[in-house]
């Protein structure tokens, strides 16, 4: 349920980020200063990143003044936030907030920044007995299911007498954190759904497919009843086994750390969100990332998380998807234990399609509609 924040809320969130940036930048500059002052240094991380004496006092003073100014301005803007008009028209604000949350959403949530997106479910239309949950991907929002005048959810509602429910969430948080919260929301939603004995289907794009798998696993472990109501689960370009761009980001971190003079700049790469680093191998559970340095370059150490039993699962990939390789989207892995057991007839590759074509191409919608048509072709 996308809503545009008002001007003081935007200003409050933005100034918090600005002060956070000053603090982080002061640490980076101080670390570079310390390493240069200690030259010549061998390859590696360099000093502990702290300067001494008067120089160290100057950097500490910068951070002390920055923290005081942040607290004072935040208090003023907090009092101004009520009753003000929106800062931007809703579509533009929604897109900007979605991108910001995707890139640093974990930081926004941890610092209680008002720009952090709370997880919400948005039903559209009359409540029918069949519910289709649509879960968007990284740096996107619930309104972006509409592309080039087409929305899979709205089209399914017209043709199949279903109620689309759109999820809006902070994609910068860990996938498993979003999965756990989604599991709880779905339990409450279906328990209070007005239509009798509702059935559920899920259509998930990109990261949304990982969130769906996480919610199913965690919901089952919590004893929820909604997983038993799930009939179909359709993945559109989901990086079940990771995305190469995030793996490329870990190489940048590694290369920056080679020299003590560039090592402090590695902190910039470490600003990217937990949601993004989860995409390196396709993490869906807490144990995939807990107790590990998420920026450490390492192999795929996930525990195998199979597809949910008793659910008709389908994987759709784009032939020209540069973000999610076809093998990852179809759940194929060189380790047979990690390969997801999609039947061959449930795998489909869109010829000439990229990652976002999966949201509006007629061939994709036809495939999705057929999957979700009762007693239709499989």
Per residue in 318-340, pLDDT (tens digit) is 999 988 999 999 999 998 889 99
Looking at residue 137, its pLDDT comes to 96
Q: Are strands 130-135 and 146-147 parallel, antiparallel or unpaired?
A: unpaired
3-state secondary structure of 286: helix
Q: Report pLDDT for 272.
A: 74
pLDDT in tens, 189-235: 999 999 999 999 999 999 999 999 999 999 999 999 999 999 999 99
| Separation of alpha carbons 213 and 233, rounded Å | 9
Q: What pLDDT is stored for residue 206 in this prediction? A: 97
Tell me: pLDDT of 251 over 60: no
Tell me the average pLDDT of the chain: 80
Under the banding of pLDDT at 50, 70 and 90, the label for residue 58 is very low
Q: State the pairing for strand pair 150-151/347-350.
A: unpaired
**Distance (Å, rounded) from C-alpha 143 to C-alpha 264?**
38
B/e letters for 223-246, b = 16+ CB within 10 Å, e = fewer, are ebebbebbebbbbbbbbbbbbeeb
pLDDT at 77 over 50: no
Residue that the structure tokens 């994987």 belong to: 315
Task: Name the packing angle between helices 7-37 and 90-110 (round to 10°).
Answer: 50
Q: How confident is the model at residue 159 (pLDDT cuts 50, 70, 90)?
A: very high
- Number of residues that this document lists for the chain: 378
Whole-model pTM? 0.77
- What pLDDT band is residue 240 in, cutting at 50, 70 and 90? very high
User: Which pLDDT score is estimated for 299?
Assistant: 73
DSSP annotation of 6: B
Element (H, E) at 123: strand 120-123
Question: Which one is predicted more confidently, 49 or 367?
Answer: 367
Structure tokens at 324: 């999610």
Q: Which residue has the tokens 């640490």?
A: 27
Query: Which tokens go with 318?
Result: 């784009």
Checking if the pLDDT of 168 tops 90, the result is yes
């Amino acid at each position: 349920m996308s809503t545009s924040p008002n001007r003081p809320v935007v200003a409050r969130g933005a100034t918090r980020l600005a002060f956070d940036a000053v603090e982080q930048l002061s640490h980076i500059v101080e670390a570079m200063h310390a390493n240069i002052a200690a030259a010549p240094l061998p390859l590696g991380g360099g000093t502990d990143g702290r300067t001494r004496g008067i120089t160290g006092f100057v950097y500490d003073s910068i951070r002390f003044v920055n923290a005081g100014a942040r607290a004072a301005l935040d208090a003023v803007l907090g009092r101004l936030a009520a009753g003000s008009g929106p800062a931007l028209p809703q579509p533009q604000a929604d897109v900007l907030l979605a991108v910001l949350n995707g890139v640093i959403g974990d930081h926004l949530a941890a610092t209680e920044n008002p720009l952090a997106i709370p997880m919400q479910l948005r039903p559209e239309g009359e409540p029918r007995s069949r519910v289709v949950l649509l879960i968007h991907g990284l740096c996107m929002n619930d309104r972006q299911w509409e592309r080039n005048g087409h929305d899979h959810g709205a089209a399914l509602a017209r043709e199949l007498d279903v109620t689309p429910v759109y999820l809006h969430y902070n994609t910068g948080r860990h996938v498993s954190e979003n999965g756990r919260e989604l599991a709880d929301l779905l339990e409450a939603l279906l328990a209070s759904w007005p239509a009798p004995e509702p059935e559920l289907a899920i259509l998930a794009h990109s990261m949304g497919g990982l969130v769906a798998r996480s919610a199913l696993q965690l919901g089952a472990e919590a004893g929820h009843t909604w997983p038993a109501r799930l009939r179909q689960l359709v993945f559109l370009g989901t990086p079940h086994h990771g995305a190469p761009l995030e793996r490329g980001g870990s190489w940048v971190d590694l290369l920056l750390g080679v020299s003590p003079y560039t090592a402090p700049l590695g902190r910039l790469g470490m600003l990217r969100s937990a949601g993004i680093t989860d995409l390196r191998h396709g993490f869906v559970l807490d144990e995939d990332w807990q107790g590990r340095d998420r920026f450490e370059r390492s192999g795929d150490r996930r525990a195998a998380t199979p597809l949910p039993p008793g659910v008709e699962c389908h994987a759709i990939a784009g032939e020209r998807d540069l973000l999610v390789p076809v093998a990852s989207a179809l759940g194929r892995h060189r380790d047979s234990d990690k390969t997801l057991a999609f039947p061959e007839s449930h795998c489909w590759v869109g010829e000439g399609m990229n990652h976002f074509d999966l949201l509006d191409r007629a061939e994709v919608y036809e495939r999705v509609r057929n999957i979700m048509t009762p007693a239709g072709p499989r």
